[in-house]
Structure 1
């Protein structure tokens, strides 16, 4: 699998819904997942300052696929943060409890935007498929969410989930996002950088690689 457009990323992320498939081909998928993140950050976002693979200050590697899967398993970034689960997730991944804050930083810097964009494109695809069938039927709610997504550039009911897009999770950031008519990568990159600064300023013991 080569990454030439976001549909290639979406295809890989779709595969990750099958946990048995992930376990069976774990090592192959890990490499492709890192390749996908690197492509998305450099080509889509124009960010060249995020080294992949990711290593901690003690030279221990952070497995981005595992980080994605464990956060997804626990309900997403917002749930993990609200329930103070980063330390537990860090331990589950083979790191120390005190590395939980580092895992949160890595998630914000590497995974947050691509996951948001994946949800955005998935809802877009659902509503377009529904419209192409020429009927709404039982998909009224999904179609309505898709229309809102396509018109505002935001995912319904997802306002507080993605830290990097809403730096500091403040209301002004959300209002600005809701004004966008399409997914704006330049705006997303700016928000990511603001989020990174905010995360790093409020973190202790973080040593950028």
Structure 2
């Protein structure tokens, strides 16, 4: 079966260690008219696909496998992921995409404590507190972090913005009304919302 889709997000390549030794994994978000799904490639396939796939380009894929997405690691609500195999073929295509229309499925902040951990959701709110940007280094990678509190109709929630999202606004964010597409329900002493590489922020 052929899949035709655009690459909307390319995640940083990661390494892992298991009983077979050190491995490599790459992830991309694919988008078509039906929605979004994650594409995963391991080891040699990770290396091969990383050289072929570019963000905002469209491709036709054949010979992909399907697997369940791990709640702990997934970055999209879709319960499945596409997996590259040694037989996967890919070619760049022309593919009309509507970038103007983002479809939100908002969860009210007063419901976030009742939904499963690791859920990927859309939220909106007004920034009450902005604790500023901190930076650090891990595994030779520089990271940026920004903790904020947001409010929606009297319900407050803590959020952590990471990396490009943390640096998106170069002034204090207090008072801004923001829509967040694809944030993850996580835990740090209490439930919080965190951004990911594919999170989109829209300032109203």
Normalised TM-score (structure 2): 0.25
Taking CA–CA contacts closer than 8 Å with sequence separation of 6 or more, which of the two structures ends up with the larger relative contact order?
1
Normalised TM-score (structure 1): 0.25
